[in-house]
Chains A and B, each alone.
Chain A
């Protein structure tokens, strides 16, 4: 490490790693591996907010041991760094506290958050949106959709196990899962569902000759057929919304259709589209009526107040136990940040080496091309 710090030049940048300051259940911070990677990439200093990592039980010493240029500081100082990296986008006041010209690395979702995108530009910030870092074939380089599928499915089966009288009995029939949507999230959900979202549980039940899980996927060319969909719902124990709707103003499963499900069926919202009545026509969830959860609260019994707390224009008359979480990967924070850390290492390698103005989408370096595609200026132009 000593050799690396001796090689740093005058143009080296300071990397700030702030905490997220979201709901109490949001415990994620990057792990010390990211500090090591930033050090290796030549950061002049790595400034972490006091308390960084404590939500996951990572002690401050682990970060300090990862680099000789790492140190802890207050939030404001961290946000004044040359480069600020954080998974969930900071709130508006925090962005306003950043220095014009500084680089923000975060999940900005340019396409679906136009107001926020404009604000970042108006503040004079530079930005790389993690969700827009894609390789030459258009595949996202920073994503953990696998955790969306697995975390949601695992918790849904825990609820089914709680209410199903013969869940672990060899005499029960195979459980039937219907997954709406066959995209990336749906594919992970299917794989997880064949295993109850839990390898240990699957092994335990298989050892006792308990029949497994049959997972049926229906894409939009089937879900748009009402008769088919209602017939499918009648034989469904777990209904998963993993859709990517072209028209988010129309649900895939209208609230009255939930009545077709068996009384003990469970609804799992992996798409986590929000309700939004501030625009016309308003946006709704794929399964109409399901409450919108977060890391503090993601399981909703049929009598949970969250159903009634939704905007009165949402039809919630038909209900089943439902699960929904805005940040499914955050339920396993260590696992999640281990994955994100590995994925952002090459991004840090590029931004700490190449000035943001010189990022080149035609570079001979594929990693630089991927990062350049995610730069705010390119999106705006």
Chain B
């Protein structure tokens, strides 16, 4: 069998995007008959050098972005902007979101690529195998409490009552947000404040969020409001902008969902909490007088404002922890993919890792869905 090539190109997104796969993931494939090309400078924003990757084994070489993309299997966390740099028949392993990115699927097919979508890797019971929901919650709550601690004088007062956090939504992210909130989003801070009354966290689902009277009372007793909802109808906000007026002036809004404003979609998508700005890895905290509020679409009501923390990619706030997690989750799957000789070698009735890869492959997705090319 011909030796497979595995490429690890860098992402080249916004300046704050510091993530690359760490050398550890390569150790999982070091004993396989695979040659690895890592793009020069990978991991440098997290303190790694080319030598750290090179040290994994003799099969690892350092190359250019083009050389990394020219391999049989290409691994990169966020979907690349260009696909024409890959070879026909190669496999792209990335967060590809087939269900919500039909144009991307069409382009993958146009370039005759195979693909494994990391967000579709699930076990037989539907649980995602490569996911960092925990860091979405912890990093978002950490940012919210950073703001609260900086701007609310009572925060560290020994006589203050418990801090009150309201979480909208009890799905996977809401579940992680509960624990993060009880620890001020940061274990060191929780230790430092252990002498104070802690954090009371209240979670409500959609069978309460629709009740305006209830929500008015709840908001008035909320110091941190967390949006962790999964809306059925994304064209309607869960929290109309007028409700933000019920929050105390010092309150912080923590946006973990980070739905975009998409006014031209049909139906249009609006944010879960109406009027708030959307952040990214370059900037995620917005004061009530931040100009970012004025950049929100003019037809959206942004009259009522509080401090907001919002980031399109919360896990990337702490890149090393994030990539350690993804690397650990992905390592056995990457190994199984390479052992199978790529996506073509996957079958629906193989061992459990192979089954997971098969379900997440482009060829399976295309086989199950009508795709316009």
Contact = CB atoms under 8 A, between A and B. Distances in A.
Interface string A229-262: 0000000000000000000000000000000000
A339 B127 CA distance: 11
Interface of A: 37, 40, 135-137, 174, 182-183, 186-188, 190-191, 194-195, 202, 205-206, 210-222, 225, 228, 338-339, 342, 345-346, 349, 364-367
A215 B203 contact: yes
Q: 3 closest Cβ contacts across the A-B interface?
A: A212-B207, A221-B198, A194-B205
Interface in B132-184: 162, 170-171, 174-176, 178-179, 182-183
B178 A187 contact: yes
A212 B210 CA distance: 10
Nearest to B327: A136
Residue among A182, A211, A218 with the most chain B CB within 10 A?
A182
B contact residues, range: 35 or more
Given A205-B207, A213-B207, A216-B201, A186 B179 contact: yes
A374 B265 CA distance: 51
A222 B331 CA distance: 40
A338 B125 contact: yes
Contact of A216 (B124, B194, B202, B325): B202
A202 B203 CA distance: 16
B60 interface: no
Contacts of A213: 204-205, 207-208
A172 to B, nearest CB: 12
Contacts of B30: 364
B332 interface: yes
B281 to A, nearest CB: 22
A219 to B, nearest CB: 4
Nearest to B176: A187
A150 to B, nearest CB: 12
B28 A364 contact: yes
Interface in B269-313: none
A182 B328 CA distance: 25
Contact of A174 (B174, B179, B200, B214): B214
A190 B178 contact: yes
A137 B353 CA distance: 19
Residue among B30, B179, B335 with the most chain A CB within 10 A?
B179
Interface of B: 27-31, 123-125, 162, 170-171, 174-176, 178-179, 182-183, 190, 194, 196-208, 211, 214, 218, 324-325, 328, 331-332, 335, 351-353
A228 B198 CA distance: 11
A362 B170 CA distance: 38
B125 A222 contact: no
B299 to A, nearest CB: 31
A205 B211 CA distance: 14
Nearest to A149: B175
Contacts of A222: 162, 197-200
Contacts of A182: 178-179, 182-183, 201
A136 B328 contact: yes
A221 to B, nearest CB: 3
Given A346-B352, A364-B27, A212 B205 contact: yes
Contacts of A366: 28, 328, 331-332, 335
Contacts of A195: 170, 205
Contacts of B179: 182-183, 186-187
A220 B204 CA distance: 21
A217 B28 CA distance: 40
Contacts of B194: 221
12 contacts: A190-B203, A205-B207, A206-B207, A211-B207, A212-B207, A213-B207, A225-B197, A228-B162, A346-B353, A364-B28, A364-B29, A365-B332
A104 B197 CA distance: 46
Contacts of B176: 187
Nearest to B208: A212
